[in-house]
Amino acid sequence: MAGWMAASGNMMAMVQSIRYHSNYGIMASQATAPEGTKLTITLPDDFHHHFRDGPSTANVLEHATQQFGRCIAMPNLRPPVTTTEMALEYRQRILSSLPKELPHGSFEPLMTLYLTDNTSPDEIKKAFATGHIKACKYYPAGATTNSDAGVTDVKKTYPALRAMEEIGMVLCIHSEVSTPGIDIFDREPVFIEEIIKPLVKDMPKLKIVMEHISTKEAVDYVMSAPDNVKASITCHHLLYNRNALLVGGIKPHFYCLPILKRETHREALLGAATSGSNKFFLGTDSAPHAVEVKEAACGCAGAYTAHCAVQLYAEAFDSMGALDKLEAFCSFHGADHYQLPRNTQKITMEKKSWIVPKRYSFGISQLVPIRAGESVAWSIVSN
């Protein structure tokens, strides 16, 4: 009984040291930086961004160019970006959609190929030789938005992957199985065991990014894996657990893939991101969808964070008293893994809250962003 009471007392002390964000659906420690704190960091890059295609691309770029110098452009369009020519044409459409005035003077979309069972080694080498196509994206067929043309059997991609290993091209992986019968909350750990571990053993020099990791199992694996295996983490997986999606009714704008997990996984991700390890870096997976296809009987997966991603990462790091680790996570680790020069521009943030609009323009429609109508604790005050 005495032991139970002592444990209960420790638990009460812990509960008293944290606060509940009713709007967030998470438990988070008290932020440590006082209001008015300013923080200047090297301009970040985003190593996982969805620009879409068409009139809406310009709306997305209005937000992305405020915070990032470079963004990896995801290739899951309709039709998917499977060839060098398609990637270069998409790059030109992105460049043509840029705002007339760029806050940092320049912006570079980093292009990717959509890996399929039939992607050839020659196509890989041709794409990488352009200097504009930096990676291939591995979507397990059926795992997420516009992934129907993705990989059905990893072994079918081995000729292409060996070419990537040879030339130093990065493989970005949506690390979830799409096997029927596997619980949606277990798809990432199963993928690690069935796909990632054998792949890393077979190709020890292939540069891999496990994108938008969402579980403690992924954190533990990346930390133990060889140095060629690294991971990106989204700001929404750092700040939210599955309560944000499910408690008090279904919240479709928190529905994303990988799906938000329980609190123990969020805590593991937060610990990894703020650890200072160069194994982890920024990748927002900001994924815009028109409001009518999110608020539907069968809504699309994706959380839109491009409007305030760096500020949300600052919230997460601030909650851990780790603002001194934010710059490396946002601006150094990803660029180093992709063998890109670090940006020279700076941005300054201030701990000064602002209210996110309830909707943003998205082509001929609108979208609902993360934190719609709610406050964000940090503001970008100079570029």
- The CA distances from residue 48 to 70, 164, 197, 309, 372, in Å, are 10, 19, 22, 12, 22
Whether the upstream peptide bond of residue 121 has omega within 30° of 0, thus cis, is no
- In the block, which residue shows the tokens 């292409």? 160
Question: What distance, in Å, lies between the first and last C-alpha atoms of the chain?
Answer: 58
Catalytic site includes residue 148: no
Assign 154 to helix, strand or coil: helix
DSSP classification of residue 54 = S
Cα atoms found within 13 Å of the Cα of residue 79, Cβ hemisphere only: 8
Which tokens sit at 2?
């005495």
Burial string for 188-220 (b: 16+ CB within 10 Å, else e) reads bbbbbeebbeebbeebeebbbbbbbbbbbbbbe
CA distance 111 to 96: 15
Q: How far is CA 84 from CA 122, 138, 139, 179, in A?
A: 10, 16, 18, 30
Rounded CA separation 238/267 (Å): 8
Query: 96 exposed, middle or buried (CB, 10 Å; 0-12, 13-18, 19+)?
Result: exposed
**What region does 44 belong to: left with phi over 0, alpha with psi -120 to 50, or beta?**
beta
- Choice among 45, 46, 285, 318 that is catalytic: 285
Q: Are 238 and 283 in contact (CB under 8 A)?
A: no
Q: Is 231 helix (H, G, I), strand (E, B) or coil?
A: strand
Question: CA separation (Å) from 52 to 49, 90, 112, 133, 374?
Answer: 9, 10, 13, 17, 25
Catalytic positions: 285
